[in-house]
A and B are shown apart, each in its own frame.
Chain A
Amino acid sequence: MSRLGGLVRVARFEYRRHLRSKQFIGTTLGMPLFMVAIGAVSAWSGSTAQQTSRHPWGFVAVTASAEAQATLAASDLRAFDTVADADRALAAGDIGGFAERTDYARYTATAWEAMPDGVASTLRDAVRAEAIAAAPALLRARWSEPVRVRYALAAAPNDVRPPAALWATLGIAFAVPLALTLAVLFSTTLLVTAVAEEKSNRLLECLATSVAPTALVGGKVVGLGLLALTQLAVWAAGAMAAAAIGLRVGASGSFVASLPWGTVALAAAWLLGGYLVQAAVVVSLGIVIGEPREAQQVAGFASLGLVLPFSLAGLLVFRPASPAAVWLSIVPLTSPVAMPIRLLLSAVPVWQAVISALLLAVTAAASLAAAGALFRYMLLRPPLRWRRLFGRRFASRGAA
């Protein structure tokens, strides 16, 4: 059998085998369900907070503006002519509180219950309607037309906080690399387990008489990489469905279209490089350690490079052009996550992106070649047991 044929068969087997595993199904379906659960709890707590004011609110205001009166009349607020009337209603439990206009644009609230959402904005709208009505026609036209702001992302200078409207961009900038990273970590966990399992039960020795070691390793890396893509596809479909429900289907189309797909594709390319580097590391660990659980534990440490940028999120968001952020996005261990975050948040100088991509590509190729060589070398050799190794070291220290 050709090397490519062997690789394809190994990849197909590893993909199908893990696709049916409880671990994959649980993680792939569990993650969106977890997110939905968090959203539901958040929504429920929000609605609970809104329900803390169970009585309507009132206001006491004297205004001659028909526009202001129309604004107030359109709301759920009850109007009182005097403060005494409002106090009586409050004492009788008819209202949860009332706002009294004490100045041109100032209200004082008297209340038993928290002010419901929207009361303050209604009062503000009434004041504004009153002011607009009194203004000259040209100003009225300008003020009536809401200001439209369209954000364009640029290289954020140091120490500049993004405006509130950029939080959506921030969400995408972290959600996309996070989803990619989770998929990569899950796949590489399966990969290290698969290699260590075959090493521990000596199945590798049999397989090595059927397929070249490089095809064996390559097939596992490709198969589990495809599994990660499948997982991402399920998560993306879940996110789209959630967006369609949350944004009422029609708007979800424009939301999807508004996503920076080109940058998302670049982020995926960096994460692919990260996957290959990480895969090479865990294949090496699996073949050297040869015991699934121990190999998984050590592989956890090896994945710190991908996790580190998330723990330095503040640096990447608020100081994306700082030397530390630049280094994080260039060093191949952290660049698969740091660079996508920077790409999604700000304009990255081309030279930095090129250097980062080249370094990552070279590192991926070199680490895969090294892992292949180590795999062949360790194929028939006894595994190295870390626990025993460290256990002995600690024991000898204790004895000393």
Chain B
Amino acid sequence: MDHAIHAANLVKHYGENVAVDDLSFDVRYGEIFGLLGPNGAGKTSTIRMLLGLLAPTSGDVRVLGAADVRTVLPRVGYLPEERGLYRDVRVDDCLVYLAELKGVPRREARRRVTEGLVALDLPDVERRAIKTLSRGQQQKVQFLATVLHRPELLIIDEPFSGLDPVNTRVLRDFLLGLHATGTTIVMCTHQMNRVEELCERLLMLQDGRPVLYGGVQAIRRDFAGDRVRILLDDAPPDAAAQLAGLPGVVEVQSSAADGFMLRLAPGAGSAEVMAGLVDRPSLAVQRFEAYLPSLEEIFLRVAGDDAPPPPSAAPHA
């Protein structure tokens, strides 16, 4: 199957420092793909190799089917994490210029700028100098600059940072609109809830190596194994003690919102717990589910300070 991005055994060294170490992954056409990892994990180096800004020390990259990435750059949009625009230039002039550099004719660029500003809820900023805009507005303008040429592949680094909830929603809807038209999106972010919400698959890097790779839900299921969540109707005062006495349960945590979280002993299954609950009529179960950890928990578990050294990631289907 052809992929929007195909990276095979990518390695990038800066002197003796290894930024990316034997990285292989694919991004499918039309999907939203999350590229995650703690600071210094090698995400930026990977993106720059994908964009042809850096030459890999070894390994192969194909972007939109091309081995010479620079030939397809007009079909790629890139929003870096640290960003800025020409502060003294008018919004429309700046956007038209950046679109023209991507090959959009001037008149068409002007039309798309007007449309894009409306779509991003920036209707009155067209003729204003960029420095007069708020940070959030500037961020949306820069995002628009990234997509004006209607790229087939969009690589965006922390697109939501600095945005308030309203603007976050505007941008998210815009992204979903692009996704609906078939644009392939690679999103780097530390906002795990956004990855859960938007991404179909992800790749997590640590120390330049892949530690997680695959479908978002599959990864969450893989990390769900040892926990069960139970919500009770009118939980009695000794509910936690009763739950702790269930077979296979080694720890009980409770919270008002989420009910009870039961951590199971290695080898124990949720069927044992359920069977135990049947024998305790005082515990009226409203909901019983295998707990799917959030990506944030998985991220902390995999990339936290006390995380084990990264294994080679096998794809999670």
In the bound complex, do residue B76 and residue A209 qualify as a contact, i.e. CB atoms below 8 Å apart? yes
In the bound complex, do residue A202 and residue B100 qualify as a contact, i.e. CB atoms below 8 Å apart? no
- Quote the shortest CB–CB distance from B31 to chain A (angstroms): 21
A68 close to B (CB within 8 Å): no
Bound CA span A207–B80, Å: 11
Residue in B closest to A8 when the chains form the complex, CB atoms: B100
- Quote the shortest CB–CB distance from A223 to chain B (angstroms): 12
Interface-facing stretch out of B47-55, B215-223, B307-315: B47-55
Bound CA span A61–B83, Å: 87
B288 close to A (CB within 8 Å): no
A203 close to B (CB within 8 Å): yes
Residue in B closest to A6 when the chains form the complex, CB atoms: B101
In the bound complex, do residue A206 and residue B78 qualify as a contact, i.e. CB atoms below 8 Å apart? yes
Bound CA span A205–B44, Å: 12
Contacts of A17 in B (CB 8 A): 86, 88-89, 93
- Quote the shortest CB–CB distance from B242 to chain A (angstroms): 57
Residue in B closest to A17 when the chains form the complex, CB atoms: B89
In the bound complex, do residue A1 and residue B53 qualify as a contact, i.e. CB atoms below 8 Å apart? no
In the bound complex, do residue A9 and residue B97 qualify as a contact, i.e. CB atoms below 8 Å apart? yes
- C-beta contact mask, B93-120 vs A, less than 8 Å → 1, else 0? 1000110111100000000000000000
- C-beta contact mask, A1-18 vs B, less than 8 Å → 1, else 0? 100001001100100110
In the bound complex, do residue B53 and residue A201 qualify as a contact, i.e. CB atoms below 8 Å apart? no
Max count, chain B CB within 10 A of own CB: residue among A1, A197, A205: A205
Residue in A closest to B82 when the chains form the complex, CB atoms: A202
Interface size on A, residues (CB 8 A): 22
In the bound complex, do residue A210 and residue B73 qualify as a contact, i.e. CB atoms below 8 Å apart? yes
Interface size on B, residues (CB 8 A): 28
Contacts of A207 in B (CB 8 A): 98, 101
Of the residues B52, B85, B88, contact of A201 by C-beta under 8 Å: B85
- Quote the shortest CB–CB distance from B26 to chain A (angstroms): 21
In the bound complex, do residue A380 and residue B51 qualify as a contact, i.e. CB atoms below 8 Å apart? no
A102 close to B (CB within 8 Å): no
In the bound complex, do residue A21 and residue B48 qualify as a contact, i.e. CB atoms below 8 Å apart? no
Residue in A closest to B100 when the chains form the complex, CB atoms: A9
> A17-B93, A380-B54 given as contacts; is B78 within 8 A of A209 (CB)?
yes
Contacts of B101 in A (CB 8 A): 1, 6, 9-10, 207, 210-211
Bound CA span A203–B82, Å: 9
- C-beta contact mask, A187-221 vs B, less than 8 Å → 1, else 0? 00000000001001111011111110000000000
Contacts of A9 in B (CB 8 A): 97, 100-101
Contacts of B51 in A (CB 8 A): 209
B84 close to A (CB within 8 Å): yes
A283 close to B (CB within 8 Å): no
Residue in A closest to B155 when the chains form the complex, CB atoms: A209
- Quote the shortest CB–CB distance from A201 to chain B (angstroms): 3
Contacts of A205 in B (CB 8 A): 53, 78, 80
Residue in A closest to B81 when the chains form the complex, CB atoms: A202
Of the residues B82, B93, B98, contact of A210 by C-beta under 8 Å: B98
Contacts of B84 in A (CB 8 A): 200-203
A127 close to B (CB within 8 Å): no
Bound CA span A206–B99, Å: 12
A379 close to B (CB within 8 Å): yes
Residue in A closest to B142 when the chains form the complex, CB atoms: A206
Contacts of B52 in A (CB 8 A): 209
- C-beta contact mask, A362-380 vs B, less than 8 Å → 1, else 0? 0000000000000000011
In the bound complex, do residue B53 and residue A209 qualify as a contact, i.e. CB atoms below 8 Å apart? yes
Bound CA span A6–B73, Å: 13
Interface residues of A in 41-94 (CB under 8 A from B): none
In the bound complex, do residue A201 and residue B83 qualify as a contact, i.e. CB atoms below 8 Å apart? yes
Bound CA span A201–B89, Å: 14
Bound CA span A9–B48, Å: 24
Counting from the closest, the 6 A-B pairs by CB-CB distance are: A201-B84, A210-B101, A202-B82, A13-B97, A209-B78, A1-B103
21 contacts between A and B (CB under 8 A): A1-B74, A1-B101, A1-B103, A6-B101, A9-B101, A13-B93, A16-B93, A197-B86, A201-B82, A201-B83, A201-B85, A205-B80, A206-B79, A206-B80, A206-B145, A206-B146, A209-B78, A210-B74, A210-B101, A210-B102, A380-B53
Which residues of B approach A to under 8 Å, CB–CB?
A: 48, 51-54, 73-74, 76, 78-80, 82-89, 93, 97-98, 100-103, 145-146
Other A-B contacts than A10-B101, A13-B93, A209-B78, 9 sampled, CB-CB below 8 A, are: A1-B101, A201-B84, A201-B85, A205-B80, A206-B79, A206-B80, A206-B83, A206-B145, A209-B76
